[in-house]
Amino acid sequence: MYKFGIVLLSAILFAFVLARPAEEKSAASPAITTTTTPATIISQIDFANPDGSYNSSYETSNGIKVENAGYLKRILVPKQESTDGQVIDEHEELVLVQTGLYSYPDPEGNLITLRYVADENGFQPEGEHLPLPPA
């Protein structure tokens, strides 16, 4: 009976902790307003070509804009290198190259825009809001 009482008390305490309201933000912290209003797509374009290239974009009613284009690119990949760094054998591979941008208004109303290229060298973003690498 004693074990049953402990389990029951633990379950009640657990339910109480889960049911309590979230704490209010303090007045010292800055208030960030968010919206739960659903956004609608006001324009959308999607093209896929037989060669694997594509072009797509969309814009929403809340100011979000996305553009993306991609194509397949053949690159030479070394299979082996000799001890002195000479390429002994190489083969071709197809990689997807993507370029694009996305933009959205931040909570203060500023337009944030990020442009990018993603290819065999990785994801390379550019934007005024991004920190610059050390010189």
Does residue 12 lie within any of the structural domains? no
Does residue 46 lie within any of the structural domains? yes
| Structural contact between residues 69 and 54, judged by C-beta atoms closer than 8 angstroms | yes
Does residue 52 lie within any of the structural domains? yes
Does residue 7 lie within any of the structural domains? no
| Whether pLDDT at 126 is above 80 | yes
> What is the spatial distance between Cα 40 and Cα 90, in angstroms, rounded to a whole number?
49
Q: Looking at the whole model, is its pTM more than 0.75?
A: no
pLDDT in tens, 33-75: 666 678 899 999 999 999 989 999 999 999 999 999 999 999 8
Token pair 């007045």 in the structure block, residue: 27
The domain tally of the chain equals: 1
% of residues, the chain, pLDDT over 90: 40
Q: What DSSP string runs through 120-134?
A: TTEEEEE-TTSPPPP
| Comparison of pLDDT for 9 and 61, the residue scoring more | 61
pLDDT in tens, 79-95: 766 677 676 677 888 88
| Whether pLDDT at 104 is above 60 | yes
Q: In sequence order, what are the residues at sequence separation of 6 or more whose Cβ sits closer than 8 angstroms to the Cβ of residue 129? A: 112, 114
Domain boundaries, position 66: 39-135
